Structure 1
Amino acid sequence: MFNLLFEPLSFGFMRDALAIAASLGILCSVVGSYLIVQRQGILGDVIAHAVLPGIAIAIFFGIDIFLGAFVCGTFSTFVITWIESQSRVKVDAAMALVFSGFLALGIMLISVLKSKVDLHHFLFGNILGVTTEDVFRTLIVTFFTLFLVKLCYKELLFYTFDPLGAEASGLPVNIIKFGLTAAITLTIIASMQAVGVVLVISLLIGPGVTAYLLVKELHQMMLLGSVIGIIGSVGGLYISYYQNVPSGASIVLFISGLFLLALLFSPSQGILTRPRAKKLR
């Protein structure tokens, strides 16, 4: 038993992968909780695809792709807000338009600028190929995001559940919204290395929505979601190691399995275990 647990740790690439997986399990759960409560889970998928033009441009000019992806991903959310505020187009339609438009622009720029972007890596990730630098960068993003969430928790809580009330009370809602957008974008960029844009939304939403079925308070959802995120990420990596299957897909399927268990057996929300309403006589 102990041999099964410690054997993967003898390899440096597995230690780096496990470290970044555990960090992302926490980061994605905390940030994803706000998306779930605000019913904007699809926004994560939009940003994940919208970063491609920034990556192509960054590679062409020889700058850090992290910076290019962040600027482009953040800009995509401003475009969505601008379309919604300046027209009759609803936010879901604006998201769909930006999603497809930015993805097409990214593919076009890769061709025009001859940027050497590995689309397979971009789409599906490669957590086993992360470097020590990637691990430290992800840890910095995680600690920085958690610190800001802790520091501004009350304001974020107020804005999340009552944005109009938060604005009326004098809170800087535009700054709060930008901060959440920046946190979401940073989380997605960090997660892309692990699972790619195709699967990143599951890592961002899966742990939080699983916890949502088990607890009622937002802070409880974040804490339990972080535990579920760590278990799912690390467990998926161990399965991929011993079964020789793709790591990103293994992580997402492990988290999806935990969600299915919560969906069926949650004490209050489970399909098979929730209290049944008494029949009227």
Structure 2
Amino acid sequence: MSSALTRVAYAYDRLRAYPPEVAGRIATAMGSALQVRGEEPMLLELGVGTGRIALPLIARGYRYIALDVNPAMLEVLRQKAAGVMRKVRLLQADARAIPLPEESVHGVIVVHLWHLLPDWPKALAEALRVLKPGGVLLEGWDQVEAEPECRLQERWRALVEAEGVEVERGRHRRRLAEVEEALKRLGLKPKTRQVVAWREERTLREALEALQDRLYSFTQAVPEEVHAQVMPRLWAWAEGEFGGLDQSFRVEKSFYLRTSRLG
């Protein structure tokens, strides 16, 4: 496993984590949506990452299959869940080819994944294939508003595009709409609700580190050499524009959950 993958996994775990009370609210909403009777629920999460969704559910005793294609993400999760691994299975695999039998889980969790997969219909078909009758697809996403961070991201985009590389923004939101339409065509009735809203404080340095480590999907299609060229310019611009990089700003966040039940 490369040191770069490991470094990014730890950066993701630190910079994209939910506050404990928020993670608990999300876990409660997902658990309530299962509606399983007569047997112990089994959950599968696609693109589990380092476990920000998984760990509160694992701690509540759910049987859990944590799938991710990235071994470094799974290793961080394994370390964090070391004391509660009895009911957890870590599965390094591609969400577009889930190595599980049909109708084997009660819930499939997908948070911030669809937009990372160009051939997302394969992953959606696989998610529905492994769901038991009456099982539920649980899709989650964040909505974030933070003006200073938006300025940093837009400046990064402008610097990249000045190097002749186009940056695609908004794919996540568009993909959520495409998946919803696909679910409706299959006869399902997806229902969306806001689970929790909260505020966080973040420093400009942390926002720059998130860009530096390419934790956002819109950064990942940019060639590494271009990204490496523009980041020193972005750091310099931010220091000149904002002053000290350790000053904090407020981030308004909310988490949405979309549920689609089979049968």
The answer to whether the superposition gives a TM-score over 0.5 is no
Which structure is higher in helix share?
1
Q: For this structure pair, what is the TM-score category when the shorter chain's length is used for normalisation? A: under 0.3
Which structure is higher in strand share?
2
